[in-house]
Amino acid sequence: MTRALFVIDIQNDFTEGGALGVAGGARVAQAVTDHLGGPRAVDYDVVVASRDWHDGNGDNGGHFSADPDYVTTWPVHCVRGTPGAEYHPALDVSAVDVHVRKGTGEPAYSLFEGRAEDGRSVPDVLAEHGVTEVDVVGLATDHCVRASALDAVAQGLRVRVLTDLVAGVAPGTTAAALDELRAAGVETVTAGEAS
């Protein structure tokens, strides 16, 4: 059994005060840091962290809009080279083994849609480490966490979402996303239950 941790989009623009800030985002950043380095730390074989990494010019394949619907179009966010695209300062990235960038010039929600900084695909990274199980944490539960967890299931992995290490945009869509994930075979547990 080889387990990976997926740290999804814990970026300044997705936390309080950011372009698409999620309530509880800063708390999640600190809680993930504690999960990786605290007294009850889980020993993962590989830690993979994703970031939205959008182009500053253009609409990134229709992803950005001046009149967003907040379903498929969004305000400008996480433009590469800007503070909004950087990891939240409470997230200690020293434990991250692989950094994945996604959404450059196109919409992207799942970590599997991105590439490691050295160009490797996420399935290649996981295969290199023999990963069979994945814990998923980060932002936002009802968007990129959801998409990443569903894609991990589709890859044949055993997947858990750590419910106290995620935060969603809205209570209704977050609950619906967790229901959808459970129906797809994803386990929803707390970090304490995962250790």
Q: Is the peptide bond before 140 cis (omega within 30 degrees of 0)?
A: yes
| pLDDT category of residue 41 using cuts at 50, 70 and 90 | low
What does the radius of gyration of the chain's CA atoms come to, in whole angstroms?
15
Confidence bin at 40 (pLDDT 50/70/90):
low
pLDDT per residue as tens digits for the range 176-187: 999 999 999 999
Q: Could you give all domains of the chain from N- to C-terminal order, each with its CATH number?
A: 3-133+142-156 (3.40.50.850)
Strand extents, DSSP E, the chain: 3-8, 46-52, 98-102, 115-116, 133-139, 158-167, 187-189
The per-residue pLDDT for range 111-136, each reduced to its tens digit, is 999 999 999 999 999 999 999 999 99
Active site residues: 9, 102, 144
